[in-house]
Structure 1
């Protein structure tokens, strides 16, 4: 997904959302998502692959990205989102789930890459989220 985004970006800082064609990333669609900025430091899922829905145990479209993060990590996530939207620049995050009773270890990698909307503002993110480990109950 990163190389796909880079190819569309070319010499520009940020590619347009309308240029993204799911057929170009069909091998990774289950891990792919598109976020929409809804407020400062906040974004919600407009489109989300099945991997994300399986991890959450529900459809995540419309939910804020922060719903994937423990409350203690949401401030950091908000800062990362602002960097992606404002710089604009791509960001890669390494994540770990909290381990506890009925919560096995899980590691994840998330990549966030800015996109321009049809209006020209940087208010979308093309993302990829891959988690490894067992889901808790």
Structure 2
């Protein structure tokens, strides 16, 4: 799979990654409850939080206003994996499985996506997925953001109906080795039965989508 030219293209992506990296310290991932919405106020409209569930649907617990506007609906409670379905019903399994890959490796992923709208338009997007701990557990939550390469005049008027994965890389912190390209012919393998015993399922999304998403 081809890699993008550079790890992160957009200011929102870089800012959220920098915040997450500083927050985690020496740990592989920070606690979800440690996220301060006021510290990422500019990034909140593009941000979201996913729940890691055993069915690998990855319910969207919180969704920023710009993310929901892109799809023309409130995404809170929707399945992240369900967004990777084309107009004809075909599924992009690699894109749909990225949150599992992030949690299995406890490593951020930055990906290039192509969105298709109801009218058949296309739009390039940058996706960032960051692992979070919840109650000290891994395989619990993922913090992410979804940012368009450009904001067309029809943004929010012609809703996106499907996403397709075009490129993906692990996004290591600057002090570590350069990001390496992920090459895969299919979706990442699921954890072994022993590892699946450590999965936890939490309650669904909460009301209040009209307000900026609260991270606490």
State TM-score, norm by structure 1.
0.88
Runs of 4+ in 1 over 4 A off after TM superposition: none
Question: RMSD of the TM alignment (CA)?
Answer: 1.8
How many residues align? The count is: 135
Long gaps (5+) in structure 1 = none
Q: Does the 8 Å CA contact 2:84/2:96 hold for their aligned counterparts?
A: no
Which of 117-126 and 26-35 deviates more?
117-126
Q: Does the 8 Å CA contact 1:42/1:81 hold for their aligned counterparts?
A: no
Per-residue Cα deviation, 1:51-75 (whole angstroms, up to 9, x for no partner): 11101111110101123212331x1
More helix by share: 1
Match of 2:142 among 125, 128, 132: 125
More strand by share: 1
- Select the structure with the greater relative contact order (CA < 8 A; seq sep ≥ 6): 2
Aligned to 1:114: 131
Question: Are positions 1:93 and 2:111 aligned together?
Answer: yes
Rg larger in structure: 2
State how far apart, in whole Å, the 2-side matches of 1:68 and 1:78 are. 8
Q: Does the 8 Å CA contact 2:57/2:82 hold for their aligned counterparts?
A: no
Question: Are positions 1:44 and 2:59 aligned together?
Answer: yes
State how far apart, in whole Å, the 1-side matches of 2:33 and 2:83 are. 26
With over 3 angstroms needed to count, the CA separation of the structure-2 counterparts of 1:98 and 1:78, relative to structure 1, is closer
Q: Secondary structure at the match of 2:81?
A: helix
Aligned to 2:91: 72
Q: Does the 8 Å CA contact 2:44/2:64 hold for their aligned counterparts?
A: yes
State how far apart, in whole Å, the 2-side matches of 1:7 and 1:29 are. 17
Residue 120 of structure 1, CA deviation: 2.2
State how far apart, in whole Å, the 2-side matches of 1:106 and 1:120 are. 36
State TM-score, norm by structure 2.
0.58
Match of 1:61 among 76, 84, 89: 76
Which of 83-92 and 107-116 deviates more?
83-92
Long gaps (5+) in structure 2 = 1-15, 160-216
State how far apart, in whole Å, the 1-side matches of 2:106 and 2:140 are. 10
Per-residue Cα deviation, 1:68-98 (whole angstroms, up to 9, x for no partner): 212331x112432221111111101100123
